[in-house]
Structure 1
Amino acid sequence: MTQHAGGTVDCDPQHVSLPRRREMKAVPDDPQTWSALRPALRESWHRSAQFLRDPGSALAPVEMDDGDLDAYRREHPLRQVLPIFEKLLVQPAADAGLVVAIGDAKGRLLWVDGDRKALRIAEGSAFQPGATWSEEAIGTSAPGVALITGQGVQVHQEEHFASSAHQFSCSAAPICNPHTGGLLGVVDLTGGEMAVATHSLPLIQAAISAAEAELKVLPADTGLAQLTTLGTRRPQIGIAAARESLSLRHAEILTLLAWDGSTSGRGHSAGELAELIFGESGHEVTLRAEIVRLRRILRATPAAAGMDLESRPYRLSSPLDLDALTVVTALTAGDRSTALDIYGGALLPNSEAPGILELRQHISAALREALLSDGTPEELLRYLQLSEAARDEQVVYTALRLLPPDSPQRAALVVRMQP
């Protein structure tokens, strides 16, 4: 499905093909020359002509000042996957003299980075954070076309509708919310001819796939403070894209209180909570000191979404969206696929707190049993990618029993079980 004029689109991993370019040159003020353009760009020029009266002087508008932009970026979901783009795109782009831009679903550029010289040149054409590069704002460009069509696209210099963009070539593709399929934004590679080289668009799409996979294991935005504990040695609390790291001890306390809140809801006394964390009584003073520090952190950070710790007994003042609980809820509903999406590994793997060890075993066993009982071959294969399932012979044998005889996955599973 494609909807123009700023509507939503379904993302399509395919990209616009690049047949041999014709010698006729397309110019904005002569529609008869537009047949020289590839079909997707020709359609974009027709749309662009409705938006830009004077493509010769048009410049992308900068609609957000630094303060508004900083606040908006802190809340945007793509902030969570910036390290992936930094590693997979920005660093290679800088080495190649190119620029990487990440924009939102309306074509507003949020982050622009890469080669220093290329960045300075790009700013001269308003290719900068806060500028809008939608079709409505600046006509045909790779970010604008990608957002409208839901496909990856490459645009050579004079294929841009506005003259101010003619000094660049660019490749771009949309990125979607893996939980809902909705459009999150666009990722663009801009610069010289290297930006539209054969490998450029696949490089962008590989980075987007990695980012979407990361977003998929993060909890969906529920408006509640979210605690990330599964498969990570850096537990975090956050709401939307605003996230803060927690110490292991504070993550243990919040996990135990969140779990209690979803079951009995009666809270824990200082003695009970100390025993769950330290394994024996007599540590109440140490626990109370940690509670004081944790309460101070929760009150000082927006990432906690106003959640606080109440005393006598210890309990959370509001619900906490705990990824471990979401996995168990999904399993209870028979939604093994969602459980696998969220389950990135063992609960707080560094923790040796008895209460956490018990919960860790409970969650791991619940997932394993659900898959052994009702899992599809695809789900079992996904589960076998987890480190805790590396040598689980029963799961391997179950997958072999369910896989079709001609499945190429069978050989890999047989080899996996060799001593």
Structure 2
Amino acid sequence: MTHSPTDVTRFAAVDNAQAARVLDEVRDATLAGRPAQLDPRPVIGESWGRMLRSGVDPDHDFRAGLLGRDEIERRRRDSPLRHALPVLREGLLSVADVAHHIMVVADAEGRVLWREGSRSVLRKADGFGFEIGAAWGEDVVGTNGIGTPAVARRPVQVFAAEHFVRSHATWTCTGAPITDPRDGRLLGVVDISGPWETMHPATLAWVGSVAKLAEARLRERHLTSLDRLRSVAAPILARIEGRAIAVDKDGWTAAVTGMPHLDRLALPRTVGADRIWLPTLGLCSAEPLPGGWLVRPHRGQDEPAPRGTTRIALDLGQPRRWSLAVAGGAGTWTHELSPRHAELLYLLALNRAGRSASGLADDVFGDPSRTVTVRAEMSRVRRYLGALLEHRPYRFCEDAEIQVILPDDPLDLLPHSTAPAVLRARSAA
């Protein structure tokens, strides 16, 4: 019997054992380059392609060294995911334990930081290195429920032989990325895993929903921290004549006076100098506040940026993290990019003469009428790039030097992206 990729989940829900056997045959045929009775699902087929290009051995159970205890504790302390753990535990653990699954939480690099659930399943996970401190990125252990959602940037279930490494084919993993609700930055992945016999078709929606609840908790914490900073800054701002803005340590705005509201300032790596130059405000001073900074534009701050060539490096070389580094007479700063902003800035780097809103809408969505969405996103981009990004049409400023750092294999360019222009760039490689 032939099955299309889209009905694999329903097929597995009816007969797990038969689905596992079929997928095992499909995997073997695909990796051997033979015709198969069933094509892998697109998200799995794309992942297998990345594994073949990167040289991951499907018959070798490679394990990177475990992190030491001190490093694990440091990463736990530094990870915003620690604040989402109560939501994840409440939403996933009780059902996972009954269903003979475990909950695993990994950071953006794919390192396992927390792992809880059924004791018998935890012991089985130990058998193939699914341990605290282990590396489960795609580039290390192949297609799996931690590494693949981190690359695809959406919830993914990896059932049985959909795992690239053969020794993982007795397992089913369902993972969902958890992103920073402020800027879309990947924080990590939450995963529910267990023997493939216990797979349920509703697991994917369940894990995805709980990941969204975790992001909502992080958003609530962010707003609460801004409220605290606002209460500290309010009496100070009330005494200031002129313009000032209170921001947290990441540059998010708590309160302003004498100027329009800005969502966020792109702060340099080192804040606290007598004079700092910001793309959106010009020359400023910064004074520490509990939990943030009081930034005051200098009088006559409309002066141009310090002279010197501005170099902008758009780093798209990693499958999970993309960033923009700006260096010039005004200093150096780096901004981590959301998936959408990475797409938009890549397209502008390709088109130095600029793109209109309708042109970018066509590039990203294949629909030139979606200009409202594009303008909203570009407005957010301009809040941290300031005068370095011009509009009508949207483009990098003429005197900036643009460097785009691409992945070693062009087919790995922005692997999450379905933008027509990005797909064309991959296919042209």
* Higher RCO (CA < 8 A, seq sep 6+): 1
Larger Rg: 1
The alpha-carbon deviation at position 330 of structure 1 amounts to 10
| Cα distance, 1:105–1:120 mapped onto 2, change above 3 Å | same
Conservation of the 8 A alpha-carbon contact between 1:49 and 1:139: no
Instruction: Say whether the 8 Å CA contact 2:66–2:132 is kept in structure 1.
Output: no
After superposition, the Cα gap between the structure-2 partners of 1:330 and 1:36, relative to the gap in structure 1 and judged at 3 Å, is farther
User: In structure 2, how many angstroms separate the alpha carbons of the residues matched to 1:330 and 1:125?
Assistant: 57
Structure 2 Cα separation of the partners of residues 331 and 104 of structure 1: 40
Counterpart residue identity of residue 158, structure 2: V
User: Which of the residues 32, 42, 47 maps onto 2:45?
Assistant: 42
| Separation in 1, partners of 2:257, 2:123 | 49
Three-state SS of the structure 2 residue aligned to 1:142 is coil
Trace 1:74-113 onto structure 2 (pairs within 5 A).
74-113=77-116
> What corresponds to 2:208 in structure 1?
205
1:397 — aligned with what?
none
State how far apart, in whole Å, the 2-side matches of 1:144 and 1:256 are. Answer: 41
Q: What do residues 350-399 of structure 1 show as CA deviations (whole Å, max 9, x unaligned)? A: xxxxxxxxxxxxxxxxxxxxxxxxxxxxxxxxxxxxxxxxxxxxxxxxxx
Determine whether 1:141 maps to 2:144. yes
Distance 1:120 1:159, change over 3 A: same
Q: 1:219 aligns with which of 202, 219, 222?
A: 222
RMSD (CA atoms)? 3.6
Task: State TM-score, norm by structure 2.
Answer: 0.49
Shift of 1:125: 0.8
Q: Deviations over 1:2-21 (max 9, x none)?
A: xxxxxxxxxxxxx9984645
Q: What SS does the aligned partner of 1:122 have?
A: helix
Q: Displacement of 1:127 after TM fit?
A: 0.7
> When the two structures are superposed, what TM-score results if normalisation uses the length of structure 1?
0.50
User: Which amino acid in the other structure matches residue 235 of structure 2?
Assistant: D
Q: Structure 2: which amino acid aligns with 1:264? A: R
Conservation of the 8 A alpha-carbon contact between 2:247 and 2:255:
no
Structure 1 residue 56 corresponds to structure 2 residue 56: no
- Residue from 155, 159, 163 that aligns with 2:162: 159
Specify which of 24, 32, 43 is matched with residue 30 of structure 1: 32
Structure 2 residue runs of 5 or longer lacking an equivalent are 1-5, 12-18, 241-245, 264-429
TM-superposition CA deviations, 1:144-189 (whole Å, max 9, x none):
2211111211111222111231221111111111100122211111
Report which of the two has the higher share of helix.
Answer: 1
Q: CA deviation at 1:106?
A: 2.1
Q: Secondary structure at the match of 1:161?
A: coil
Once the 2 structures are TM-superposed, how far is the Cα of residue 55 of structure 1 from its aligned partner?
2.2
After superposition, the Cα gap between the structure-2 partners of 1:255 and 1:152, relative to the gap in structure 1 and judged at 3 Å, is: closer
In the TM superposition, residue 60 of structure 1 has moved relative to its aligned partner by 3.4
SS in 2 for 1:214: helix
Matched residue of 1:179: which SS?
A: coil
**1:326 Cα deviation from its structure 2 partner:** 5.3
Aligned counterpart, 2:239: 264
Which AA in structure 2 matches 1:260?
P
Higher strand content, 1 or 2:
2
Deviation at 1:334, TM superposition (A): 6.1
What is the rounded CA distance, in whole Å, between the counterparts of 1:219 and 1:77 in structure 2?
A: 11
Instruction: Specify the alignment match of 1:184 in structure 2.
Output: 187
Matched residues in 1 for 2:146 and 2:7: separation? 13
Q: Structure 1 pair 206/263, CA: closer, same or farther in 2 (3 Å)?
A: same
Q: In structure 1, how many angstroms separate the alpha carbons of the residues matched to 2:222 and 2:215? A: 13
- Counterpart of 2:130 (choices 117, 127, 136) is 127
Task: Give the whole-Å Cα distance in 1 for the aligned partners of 2:172 and 2:45.
Answer: 17
CA distance in 2, matches of 1:187, 1:40: 18
What one-letter code is carried by the residue in structure 2 that aligns with 1:113?
E
Q: Note if contact 2:88-2:214 (Cα within 8 Å) is conserved in structure 1.
A: yes
Please give the alpha-carbon distance, in whole angstroms, between the structure 2 residues aligned to 1:150 and 1:196.
22
Q: Does 1:66 align with 2:69?
A: yes
- 8 Å contact kept, 1:57–1:162: yes
Decide whether aligned partners of structure 1 residues 107 and 57 sit closer, same or farther in structure 2, where only a CA change above 3 A counts: same
SS at match of 2:26: coil
Using the alignment, how far apart are the partners of 2:198 and 2:146 within structure 1?
Answer: 13
Partner Cα distance (2:7, 2:104) in 1: 20
Percent identity over paired residues? 28
**Does the 8 Å contact 1:170/1:195 carry over to 2?**
no
* Structure 1 residues 119 and 259: alpha-carbon distance in aligned structure 2, compared to 1, 3 A threshold: same
- Distance change in 2, residues 1:180/1:97 (3 Å): same
AA matched with 1:124: G
Residue pair 1:171, 1:196 contacting (<8 A) in 2 also: no
Unaligned runs of 5+ in 1: 1-14, 221-225, 231-253, 266-318, 337-419
